[in-house]
Structure 1
Amino acid sequence: MTIREGKWDCKTCGRIGNRGPDSYCGSCGSTRPDDVQFYLPEDAAEVTDEKLLAEANAGADWKCSYCSTQNNAFDNFCVSCGNKRNEAQGDAYMQEREIRFDAVNNNPPPAEKTSSPLSRKIKIGLIAAAVSIITLFALIMLTSTINLTVTGFEYSGKVIYEEYKMVTEEDWSLPASAEKLGEFRAIHHYDKIPDGYETKTRDVQVKTGEKKVKVGTKDMGNGYFKDIYETRPVYETRKETYKETRYKDVPVYQTKYKYKMMKWVPGQPYE
């Protein structure tokens, strides 16, 4: 796994880019804060020095519960006060975290917009003006007199009726009240019947191997970052020949009846 050196920014003097493993700011000497956010520059070089690699792989830094000094993971005693590391007494490790390239960025919801007192006054004024105009218009309409004279009216429409008469029809079944005039064979529907095979080609994905893909980095909690890799399959698009069943439509015949019967049917509309 590739190890890279991260950075952190000093909140006291504003210095940007302190070495991740350094516990003190290179400008003002302020202690690296407990809530420090390590980050990895895009051009961060790979760590190859054996001593630094051992320091990185030792694990997250820990904070002395007695004097609050941050110590390297391989230090069993605090470098400031000499207190022995004891997790039971509150010697806490720095937090490790994974930063994946495909992680969803959960942005905080936007703050609600609040209207200023001035804008609220303008809105109230506009509403009051609108109410006044509507009230004035209503009063004018109530006090006006309009005389209307009706000279006549007309009505037009269509009347649709049904008539009971003898009709001749065809159907696949014979109604009980119908008089049969004849019967004949006709195509009722079509069935699809297999009629051989047709050779076709299609594109298919074939696994040809595996490869390691960098999917993120791990903040190791000590100023170093480790590249995260996953093994993913490698596919290749190839042509595949296959047989597809060919079908033909075969008509299915049934008996159809011709008959006559009395039936209510729509008549000719009239105005």
Structure 2
Amino acid sequence: MAIREGCWDCPTCGTTRLLGRQLACAGCGNRRPEGIRFYLPDDAAEVTDAERLAEARAGADWICEHCGVSARATQPRCPGCGAERGSSPQQQTHEHRFGEPAEEAPRALAAAAPAKRRRGWKGPAAILAVIGGMVWYNGPVETTATVAGKEWSRAIEVQEYRTVQEEDWSVPHGGREKRSFRAVRDHRQVLDHYESRTRQVSERVQTGTRTYTCGQRDMGNGYFEDVTCTEPEYTTNYRTESYQEPVYRQEPIYDTKYAYEIERWLPDDTMWARGDAAKEPAWPAVRIGAREREGARIQRYVLRFKDDDGKTYEREVTPEQFARYRAGQPVTLRMKRGGNGGQVEIVEPDAKS
């Protein structure tokens, strides 16, 4: 497995990219302290020198329990204070698999790294700008106009109580049965037979294994060793398979159906009344005959507006609003900035901010 030399950053003077083999900072001369973090640059080359390989494979550095500086695994005494190793602890080792969340970068390196320059309309700022533009485009805008016209319409439905012929699976209350007969009420699927068919079937077959570099192990001494993993390799084979496909038929389900006559209130006519600002809204006159009654009532009120630029707008309003506004009266209209001018609402005087 390949071994690469990492780097460390001096926490005292901020010197960055010190080689992993260096036990002291080249900038300030301070010894590498306890808990230092090693990192592997993207351009780190594989170590091939025999002396460096032996240094890397000797084991993790140990941390002097007296002065806290780092010493090589092959050094029996601390290079800082000269004390024997004794029970001094080792530098921690770490293993990182590719694809896992990376550990936080060392502070000195992060501070020294130049900020990346944003290019083009990318990232959250561009998304926020687009959203802001859409909000602005669809946002409200107000304009002053006058009431240019008023129209109203009212209608009353006239219903007649008459005898009708109907069919159903039962006779409702008030119905008079005329006849009954057998009819198809539903269908069910019934297995009829099987037919021979063929189909292509795929199957994955293992053909071997492959070994690949899946991570790196911090050896605790300034060097990193590649971590290898193995995974099976597959190929897809196809074969023709015969099978029996079921074929179904739709079988009818019969039931008794009834023909009957019954009295129902049914729409017969609609009476309308229409007018404008010159005529107060009124319901149409309805003459009710025998076996007739009034049904649903419909009413619609529309105001038309014109602004200073000559643009016209229309709004369906409530009866109260229709009665409140007079021809020529100034009003404030609110609409979408990017709208087509037809979707407007009246800004009531008490709703203005």
For normalisation by structure 1, the TM-score amounts to 0.65
Task: Report percent identity of matched pairs.
Answer: 32
Instruction: Determine the structure 2 residue equivalent to 1:104.
Output: 101
1:250 deviation in Å?
Answer: 0.6
Q: 1:67 deviation in Å?
A: 2.2
Gaps of 5+ in 2: 105-151, 271-353
Map 1:183-262 to 2 at 5 A: 183=182, 188-191=187-190, 193=192, 195-262=194-261
Question: Which stretch of the first structure deviates more once superposed, 31-40 or 185-194?
Answer: 185-194
Residue identity in the other structure for 2:65: S
Corresponding residue number in structure 1 for 2:71: 71
Between Structure 1 and Structure 2, the one with more strand by share is 2
Do the aligned residues in 1 keep the contact of 2:198 with 2:240 (CA within 8 Å)?
Answer: yes
Query: Which stretch shows the higher mean deviation, 73-82 or 174-183?
Result: 174-183
Q: 1:49 and 1:264, CA in 2 relative to 1: closer, same or farther beyond 3 A?
A: farther
SS in structure 2 opposite 1:55?
Answer: helix
Matched letter for residue 26 of structure 1: A
DSSP 3-state at the match of 1:30: coil
Judging changes above 3 Å, is the alpha-carbon distance between structure 1 residues 235 and 180 closer, same or farther for their aligned structure 2 residues?
same
Matched, 1:52 2:52: yes
Normalization by structure 2: what TM-score? 0.52
Q: CA deviation at 1:12?
A: 5.2
Partner residue of 1:169 out of 164, 167, 170 = 167
**Cα root mean square deviation, aligned:** 3.5
Number of paired residues? 222
Could you tell me how far apart the structure 1 residues matched to 2:89 and 2:103 are?
28
Which residue in the other structure is 1:6 paired with? 6
Contact map agreement 2:195 2:247 (CA 8 A) in 1: no
Alignment partner, residue 123 of structure 1: none
Partner of 1:38: 38
3-state SS in 2 of match to 1:254:
strand
Q: Are the counterparts in 2 of residues 170 and 257 from structure 1 also a CA contact under 8 Å?
A: no
Structural mapping, 1:18-167, within 5 Å = 18-87=18-87, 91-104=88-101, 155-159=154-158, 163=162, 165=163, 167=165
**Greater shift after overlay, 49-58 or 177-186?**
177-186
> Would the alpha carbon gap of residues 92 and 106 (structure 1) be closer, same or farther in structure 2, given more than 3 Å must change?
closer
Distance change in 2, residues 1:154/1:21 (3 Å): closer
